[in-house]
């Protein structure tokens, strides 16, 4: 007894097998088979590089894998890593750093400056506004290593630093290194903020440009002030883009650490600018004296992955649900 193969089902459908029910079934099978043919490459990659690593990360967090026992079979040690994480002497500091970094950058740059830039560049002549938005896109376009190189030169100690040369008196007379000395957080937030602001700026700009012009003209004729127009007309009309950027960028900031890694590597000193995501990465890949603690790093990571997945699910529910449930119409020929 062999199972009826897909080919047989297809063949039956092709000759127009009797009965409408049978035909629909055959068609559905055929449609599903070819759909998975199209999705094959994407599904394979998503499985190998998202699903499998996700499961692996969870398993790793219950082992004690480090470079000391790398070649041994994995050893399950229960929740010891989680206990170690939450009792780590630097845990409160890292948590505080993460919350501070995410919300300060988000509010000042990814939302705040982004909104101001969008409002200002849409209120001046089109070409000029476009030019300024284009310049703001440059940081995002620049390779991270080169971008951080520029900021490092801006914050370098005397006589090389650009800031110290331009404003020798302002930030104290020391003239020392700013990002690894006087004001590391300012530099961490500036470097990330100058990247983050452009995304919101572009989204808000297109939202602002789609507001009907007569609405704004009418308000102006009625003598509404600029501030009233922004507060009572523009902001309510771009409520959804604002909420979208807020959730999307929270997630982004929470899980990205590339620029901090390149700028301060969590320093100066112990954990001064180290955020959660960077801790996870450094435990696993760059621990001191060549001792990589993959399991412990995975523990930090899996906590963040859980938070990120929850946030992502909320974000999907909020914004794309309608598009999601819309069914393709072509099947109902």
Partner 1 sequence: MTTTEIAPSLHPAGPLTEAREKMGRRFAYGFLILSIVPILIGYAWLIIATLSIRTEGLLPRNAEGGIGGFTLRNWDFITDSAIWNAMLNSLLIAVAMVIGVGVASTAGGYALSRMKFAGRKGFLSMTLVLHAFKAEMLLIAIFFVLRWLGDIPLIGDYIGFNSVGGVALVMIALELPLGIWLMKGFFDNLPWDMERAALIDGASRFRVWWQIMLPQVRPGLAALSLFTFIAGWNAYLVPFTFTVGTKVANMPVFLSQLISDTAPTNWNQVAAVGLFQMVPLIIFFIFTQELLLNIYAGGSKGT
CB of 236 to partner 1, least distance (A): 20
User: Which residue, 9 or 261, has its beta carbon nearer to partner 1?
Assistant: 261
CB of 116 to partner 1, least distance (A): 8
Contact characters 295-314, partner 1, x per CB under 8 A:
--xx--x--xx--xx-xxx-
**Under the criterion CB under 8 A, does residue 277 sit at the interface with partner 1?**
yes
Helix (H) / strand (E) containing 66? none
Burial code of 285-299, b = ≥16 C-beta within 10 A, e = fewer? eebeeeebbbbbbbb
Please identify which residue in 72, 169, 214, 323 interacts with partner 1, judged by CB under 8 A: 323
CB of 178 to partner 1, least distance (A): 13
Please, which of residues 180-239 interact with partner 1 by CB under 8 A? Answer: 190, 194, 198-199, 202-203, 206, 221, 223, 226
**Under the criterion CB under 8 A, does residue 31 sit at the interface with partner 1?**
yes
CB of 40 to partner 1, least distance (A): 8
By CB atoms closer than 10 A (0-12, 13-18, 19+), residue 325 is: exposed
By CB atoms closer than 10 A (0-12, 13-18, 19+), residue 117 is: buried
User: Which residue, 62 or 194, has its beta carbon nearer to partner 1?
Assistant: 194
**Under the criterion CB under 8 A, does residue 38 sit at the interface with partner 1?**
yes
> Please, which residues bridge with residue 76 across strands?
63
Please, which of residues 39-68 interact with partner 1 by CB under 8 A? Answer: 39-43, 45-46, 48-50, 52-54, 56-57, 60
Query: What contacts 87, CB < 8 A, 6 or more positions away?
Result: none
Question: Taking the C-alpha atoms of 293, 294, 300 and 305 in order, what is their torsion angle to the nearest 10 degrees?
Answer: 170
CB of 37 to partner 1, least distance (A): 8
User: Which residue, 1 or 148, has its beta carbon nearer to partner 1?
Assistant: 148
Q: Give the end-to-end CA distance of the chain in Å, rounded to a whole number.
A: 36
DSSP type of residue 16: T
Distance CA 305, CA 303 (A): 5
């Amino acid at each position: 007894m062999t199972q009826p193969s897909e080919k047989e089902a297809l063949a039956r459908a092709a000759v127009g097998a009797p009965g409408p029910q049978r035909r629909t079934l055959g068609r559905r099978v055929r449609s599903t088979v070819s759909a998975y043919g199209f999705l094959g490459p994407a599904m394979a990659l998503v499985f190998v590089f998202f699903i499998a690593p996700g499961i692996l990360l969870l398993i790793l967090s219950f082992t004690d894998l480090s470079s000391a026992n790398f070649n041994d079979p994995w050893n399950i040690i229960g929740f010891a890593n989680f206990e170690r994480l939450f009792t780590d002497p630097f845990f409160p500091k890292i948590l505080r750093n993460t919350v501070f970094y995410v919300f300060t950058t988000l509010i000042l740059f990814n939302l705040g400056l982004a909104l101001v830039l969008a409002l200002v560049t849409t209120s001046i002549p089109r070409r000029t506004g476009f030019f300024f938005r284009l310049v703001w896109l440059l940081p995002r376009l620049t390779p991270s290593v080169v971008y951080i190189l520029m900021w490092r030169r801006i914050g370098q100690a005397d006589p090389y630093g650009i800031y110290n040369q331009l404003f020798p008196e302002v930030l104290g007379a020391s003239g020392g290194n700013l990002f690894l000395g006087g004001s590391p957080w300012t530099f961490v937030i500036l470097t990330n903020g100058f990247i983050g602001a452009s995304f919101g700026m572009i989204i808000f700009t297109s939202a602002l440009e789609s507001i009907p012009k007569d609405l704004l003209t009418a308000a102006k004729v009625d003598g509404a002030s600029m501030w009233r127009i922004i507060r009572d007309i523009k902001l309510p009309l771009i409520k959804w883009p604002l909420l979208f950027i807020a959730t999307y960028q929270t997630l982004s900031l929470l899980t990205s650490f590339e620029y901090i890694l390149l700028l301060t590597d969590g320093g100066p000193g112990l954990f001064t600018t180290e955020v959660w995501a960077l801790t996870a990465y450094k435990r696993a890949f760059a621990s001191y004296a060549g001792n990589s603690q993959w399991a412990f790093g995975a523990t930090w990571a899996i906590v963040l992955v859980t938070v990120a997945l929850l946030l992502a699910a909320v974000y999907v529910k909020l914004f794309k649900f309608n598009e999601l449930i819309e069914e393709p119409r072509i099947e109902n020929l």
